[in-house]
Amino acid sequence: MNLADFFASVLTTSFVFVIIRVAVPLVCASLSAYTAGISGMNNIAVEGIMLMAALMAVLGSYWTQSAWLGLLIAILTGIVMALMIALFSMRLGANPILVGIALNTFATSFSIFLLYLFTKNKGSSASLASKILPTVDIPIIKDIPFIGDIISGHYVITYLVVLAMIVIYLLIYKTPLGLRIKAAGLDQEAARSVGVNVNRVRIISLIISGLIGALGGAYITMGYMSVFVKNIISGRGWIGIAVAGMAGSSFPILIITTMLFSIFQAVTNIFLLYNLPSELINTIPYVAVLVGIIIFSITETRKRKKGELD
């Protein structure tokens, strides 16, 4: 591979555009896992939520012949799935991680079940005339060279996700509700003792988690691609869970890690063009997260040990 060629393809506006395109579903997955996790209610069904939402976006937009109603149906699906975690873990006493595992396996097969019912095809929804969401050209900005090429012309959901990112940041860091969410996650007994309704706070977090996860799922089938195919999320939800697990309660680390991951993924796509062993290159992002989490855990352990000594 020619190094100059490689840099030539990386250092372009279209490459940055691609990073954003790749990043949107990953940001959704990370935010989904983060908002639930920070309230002490782990949502590891992100993959399943995104998968079901991706399917319902296609089916919903086909039934209603409206992309927006399709998006709405997808979001409702995501919220319902997230609430299942609340129902089974809070009311019925199941471990939320186990509920998540069950929901993921359920979504894998149930999405195919529904796909088959409505298309008589178990592989793809290509036969359905589903809608996709429009792209947005931001006036004035789109005419600015370089910057305009990068931030204008994305799908509507991309801008919604940026908005959601800001809203979630403000919610967690700047509002009383955010404080309560964090309190419920840190120590639910202590939170209860100062009058926080832990269950309600967690249900709110799960609703946000389901909503943002569904947004990511819908993005895949209403923008990134325009059809649903079997297992279309292909691990993005799991990546979000990994990133959120690494970031802990820190929002900035969450976003930085997700963006690093997206860059890795985009670079991986370029590497693939150069006939390198694609299987190994595909693992680079996972190795990166693994190394990240190892470093993170080692420093945490050192800190704790030091704290014990002091």
CA 174 to chain centre: 22
Q: Least Å distance between CB 268 and other proteins?
A: 11
Q: Are 133 and 71 in contact (CB under 8 A)?
A: yes
Q: Least Å distance between CB 16 and other proteins?
A: 26
**Per CB under 8 A, which of residues 28..67 are in contact with other proteins?**
44
Tokens of 16: 């940055």
Q: Are 28 and 47 in contact (CB under 8 A)?
A: no
Contact flag: residue 264 with other proteins (CB under 8 A): no
The Cα 264–Cα 247 span in angstroms is 18
Cβ proximity to other proteins: between 147 and 280 the closer is: 280
Contact flag: residue 235 with other proteins (CB under 8 A): yes
Contact flag: residue 92 with other proteins (CB under 8 A): yes
Angle formed by the axes of helices 46-64 and 236-247, nearest 10°: 130
Q: Least Å distance between CB 42 and other proteins?
A: 9
Would you call 298 helix, strand, or coil by DSSP? Answer: helix
From the list 246, 254, 255, 267, which residue makes contact with other proteins (rule: CB under 8 A)? 246
Q: Least Å distance between CB 101 and other proteins?
A: 5
Give 197's DSSP letter. Answer: -
Binding region for other proteins (CB under 8 A) out of 50-58, 137-145, 209-217, 298-306: 298-306
Task: Quickly list H helices, the chain.
Answer: 3-10, 13-38, 46-64, 67-86, 96-119, 147-151, 156-174, 176-186, 188-193, 198-219, 236-247, 251-273, 278-282, 284-309
From the list 2, 11, 109, 145, which residue makes contact with other proteins (rule: CB under 8 A)? 109
Give 141's DSSP letter. Answer: G
Q: Are 45 and 99 in contact (CB under 8 A)?
A: yes
Binding region for other proteins (CB under 8 A) out of 7-15, 89-97, 136-144, 197-205: 89-97
The Cα 140–Cα 152 span in angstroms is 10
From the list 1, 7, 113, 252, which residue makes contact with other proteins (rule: CB under 8 A)? 113
Cβ proximity to other proteins: between 153 and 245 the closer is: 245
Contact flag: residue 306 with other proteins (CB under 8 A): no
Q: Least Å distance between CB 141 and other proteins?
A: 37
Helix (H) or strand (E) holding 206: helix 198-219
Cβ proximity to other proteins: between 135 and 231 the closer is: 231
The Cα 228–Cα 123 span in angstroms is 8
Contact flag: residue 277 with other proteins (CB under 8 A): yes
Q: Least Å distance between CB 53 and other proteins?
A: 17
Tokens of 266: 């985009």
From the list 12, 175, 250, 283, which residue makes contact with other proteins (rule: CB under 8 A)? 283
Binding region for other proteins (CB under 8 A) out of 20-28, 161-169, 204-212, 287-295: 287-295
The Cα 119–Cα 126 span in angstroms is 9
Helix (H) or strand (E) holding 294: helix 284-309
Contact flag: residue 301 with other proteins (CB under 8 A): yes
Q: Are 53 and 78 in contact (CB under 8 A)?
A: yes
Residues of the shown chain interacting with other proteins in the complex, contacts defined by CB under 8 A: 44, 84, 88, 91-95, 97-99, 101-106, 108-110, 112-113, 116-117, 122, 231, 235, 238, 241-242, 245-246, 277, 279-280, 282-283, 286-287, 289-290, 293-294, 296-298, 300-301
